[in-house]
Structure 1
Amino acid sequence: MSLTFCEQLIASATARPGKIAMTRLGATGSESTTFGSMLDQIRSIAWRLEKEGINFGDRVALMGENHPQWAMIYLGILYRGAVVVPLDPAGMIETLSAFVENSEAKRAFIAYGSLDKFRAVCDRTGKSIPIVAFGVNDLSQVEKNGHELFSDWAGTPRPEGFDDARPPAKAGDMAILIYTSGTTGVPKAVPLTHGNIVSETDAVEESMGFTEKEIILSLLPLFHAYSQIVNLWIATLIGASVIYITELSSEEILRGLKEGRVTALTGVPRLWYLFHKKIFDGVRAQPMLVRKLFSWMMGANGFLRDRLGINAGRLFFRQVHEAFGGNLRIAASGGSSFDAEVARDFHKLGFTMLQAYGLTETSGAATVTRFEDNRVGSVGKPLPNVEVKIDEPNEEGIGEVLIRGPIVMPGYYRNPEANSEAFTEDGWFRSGDLGRFDADGHLYITGRKKTSSFCLRARTFIPKR
């Protein structure tokens, strides 16, 4: 019998208790958490949830910016067998209120900077939801409002035998409830199961070549499924390390890449476009001879990679690679289509830009490009055990992308009308996106039939210049 997500989490952390699991880089230094300490805090959170009356399947809200404590709370909720309801800290109070009401969240973990907003949500809904504050830098303000602290929860002593008991959740049990729409009508909530998570993690890990040696920079907000795939699911289960930064600025991102010796970075296209602009703005500022030499080397490395399978990017463009920390191995983009010319430029510079396509409803990625089969412009081939087909293709082979497999959600939460529209009679999920396959089975997204829930909002990911 295959292990559940939480059982794999335990096995991973137990196998490498002294290895660094998470590091938060701040202006005055860094703070790291080992896998052993992480598991200890996760278990304490899980026990405290049980002690405070959070039952199996109860929903627990989680809102705040990326932080190691966010990750441990998330995993602690799953360990308990409760359901994480991740919320956007920049969301409108009206929208957040609708999500909290629909989910019937019984407790909330809220970052210090989001406490006022969540209190406004409670006032609007008329609900008195107990709050645990995390990422706290002003204890007096938190204590004045009667909130509990993450540090107390994560340090809660556990009863004898708790650590030996199997976490209660099984593959078919709900793990996460992610909201994808506004306040008009019934909120559209995507429930992902523990089995969805394991299926997605196994498939992406196999297809994109993640290993326990990876050091991952966490940039995309963790309330999105796309970010959770790499930063939480894969990193936790394979034993990779995750770097968190305190500010989403170009300077802090580059500092994180360099000081963290980052090997893997996932982002939306806009992030990579900003990196691209920064590189080529710098080139354009150079004398003509340097610009011509740079252009020649790009052409030469493109030829070497395409014709001979040789990548001289680190040799030709040492300064560019060092700006990314000098160790970047996996560069991935998802969330919307990626400009083919920008992808070609990164290819010529010596980076392999992997593409992913999927929706929240498919646990994130449903197709990815591979290192050994990375066709520029496509979003790759289906993940292992995932089926993708084009519905009613026109003369150009374009039609709606349909997806089926163990990564697909069981159905929208308490929304039968949305479910009847989202699935075909034989169980295929309608993505709402238009696409086509080439002769070799690579998928190309050509447009949208409807708004895709996995088209992440660029606002959240635009670094400060």
Structure 2
Amino acid sequence: MQLTVKLVYHLFILKGMIFLKNDEKILSQEDRIDNFRELLDRSVRRYGEREAFILKINHKEPAEYRRIIYKEFREEVDRLGTALTELGLKGAKIGVIGENRYEWCLSYLAVTCGCGVIVPIDKELHADEVAMILNQSEAEVLIFSGKIFDKNLQDALKLNDTVRILICMDEERHDAENKEYFTIGELLQRGARLLENGDRSYLDAEIDSHAMSVLLFTSGTTGVAKGVMLSQRNICADIESVTQCLDNDCTDSVLSILPIHHTYECTCDFLEILYMGARIAFCDGLRYIAKNVQEYQPTILMLVPLIIENVYSKIMKQASSNPVKRVAFRCMLWTSGGLQHIGFKNAGRKMFRQVHETLGGRLRLIIAGAAAMNPKISKDMNRMGFKLRQGYGLTECSPILCVSRDTGNADASVGPAMPRIEVKIVNQDKDGRGEIVARGENIMLGYYRDPEATAAVLKEDGWFY
């Protein structure tokens, strides 16, 4: 990618401690994690009685909800993981495909916390593409949502000869075509019985934090699907760095909107949120974003610029219904920006209270990623009292490399490199444009069974091109 990037990174060392500028938190030794089991252990120890998930179990009015605390979630991870291990799946590649939902998250961690390798798959792929991923990864198991089985999954399985076990996230029966078939509910009951009888094969399983644990297939910019091999330490390193840069804690809540199979959503809106002890709710679909924001009142949203621009355009349309309102709104934006500049940080929330109420009333932090953000929209959203921060990364980097901070935030910038990540520009032209390269613990292990492609981007000194 040809970009001009100005990197700013300041360190102050005093009596052996490192203090980072740009509003970055200090990461203590007890906050460091090498794998997802350690992540869960830490979260249960600190936030065990807090809500980890809120699930809508009845879409009729009035809606009914199930609230899952961290201790309960950990117990279900252990039950499902124990059942999978008892099925002989230790070390197996296990695909997971479906919409953003609790059972997807449960499956992801049950597989990676002591069983096998998870292979997240985009539910929007065509049948032949799903089959290609299953075949190339040699997945023995496919965990799927009942909502998409009849859409293209049946056809994909006809083109696959590796999957021998199907596991449905819903309590539904589908044509398994001579494959073993279970539901997650059945396996949770099975795992509970095994644990009651003293089965500790899953609980005591060793986790190699530096081995491939997540296999993601991405076409990138070449159009040719490649399997990105990520270790748990790769992802945990990125979680640690993201946490240092963002202003979030256990009192926060998120609404999961973007496709969870992608590392941006999975790392930042699922795993990092669990690490912080916050709460996750799931969007019912793109058509229901406005309704769900009112319903769950998130404090943080992870979005792509297109969604943010859509929200912004609706705000501006309403504010520009007549010339007087349009001028008044622009004057308010200018005034709020000036007040924020001299230290009145909450000016935007107070002056644009109606806008905040439209977005649930509690939203304070919006993270934009996956594409370039219009700087004018970024500036106006910040002036309205929302912290809009931008990030840059890619799947091979687990995925975040850079993120803007509260201090020195520029509306047209993705910010400096995160802690313990190096980013530089090589082969620069006279205007400073060149190729961005990165190095850090978050960089992938390589491309699955493709040493030539790996050697082309991963150098011996650790730099990723």
TM over 0.5: yes
Q: State, as a whole percentage, how many aligned pairs show the same letter.
A: 26
Whole-angstrom distance in 1 between the partners of 2:260 and 2:350:
35
Q: Check 1:254–1:337 CA distance in 2 against 1; reply closer, same or farther (3 A cut).
A: same
Q: Could you give the per-residue CA deviations for residues 267-288 of structure 1, whole angstroms, max 9, x where no partner exists? A: 1111101101111111122x33
> What secondary structure sits across from 1:429 in the alignment?
coil
Whole-angstrom distance in 1 between the partners of 2:89 and 2:70:
25
Q: Could you give the per-residue CA deviations for residues 106-165 of structure 1, whole angstroms, max 9, x where no partner exists? A: 1110100222322322211234431100144xx355799973111111232224262994
Whole-angstrom distance in 2 between the partners of 1:73 and 1:5:
13
Q: Could you give the per-residue CA deviations for residues 380-409 of structure 1, whole angstroms, max 9, x where no partner exists? A: 010100000000111111110000000100
Q: Does the alignment pair 1:227 with 2:265?
A: yes
> What secondary structure sits across from 2:446 in the alignment?
coil
Whole-angstrom distance in 2 between the partners of 1:186 and 1:310:
47
Q: Check 1:391–1:144 CA distance in 2 against 1; reply closer, same or farther (3 A cut).
A: closer
Partner of 1:107: 141
Partner of 1:441: none
- Aligned counterpart in structure 2 of residue 239 of structure 1, from 277, 283, 286: 277
- Aligned counterpart in structure 2 of residue 67 of structure 1, from 89, 101, 125: 101
Q: Check 1:309–1:390 CA distance in 2 against 1; reply closer, same or farther (3 A cut).
A: farther
TM-score normalised to structure 2 length: 0.86
Q: Does the alignment pair 1:27 with 2:63?
A: no
Whole-angstrom distance in 2 between the partners of 1:276 and 1:242:
24
Q: Could you give the per-residue CA deviations for residues 29-78 of structure 1, whole angstroms, max 9, x where no partner exists? A: 2222221221111101111111001123x210000000011111111011
Give the superposition deviation at 1:349. Answer: 1.3
Give the superposition deviation at 1:198. Answer: 1.1
For the 8 Å contact 2:85–2:202, the answer to whether it is kept is no
- Amino acid paired to 1:244: F
Whole-angstrom distance in 2 between the partners of 1:348 and 1:328:
14
Partner of 2:445: 410
Instruction: Give matches, 1:199-348, under 5 Å.
Output: 199-249=237-287, 252-285=288-321, 287-308=322-343, 310-348=345-383
Q: Which ranges in structure 2 are unaligned for 5 or more consecutive residues?
A: 1-28
Give the superposition deviation at 1:16. Answer: 3.1
Whole-angstrom distance in 2 between the partners of 1:171 and 1:264:
29
Which structure carries more relative contact order (alpha carbon 8 Å, separation 6+)? 2
TM-score normalised to structure 1 length: 0.86
> What secondary structure sits across from 1:169 in the alignment?
coil
How many residue pairs were aligned? 423
Partner of 1:84: 118
- Amino acid paired to 2:255: L
Q: Check 1:81–1:140 CA distance in 2 against 1; reply closer, same or farther (3 A cut).
A: closer
> What secondary structure sits across from 1:147 in the alignment?
strand
Whole-angstrom distance in 1 between the partners of 2:125 and 2:202:
39
Partner of 1:442: none
Q: Could you give the per-residue CA deviations for residues 341-367 of structure 1, whole angstroms, max 9, x where no partner exists? A: 111111221212100100000001100
Partner of 2:412: 377
For the 8 Å contact 2:143–2:169, the answer to whether it is kept is yes
RMSD of aligned residue pairs (Cα, Å): 2.2
Partner of 2:5: none
- Amino acid paired to 1:388: V
Give the superposition deviation at 1:175. Answer: 1.8
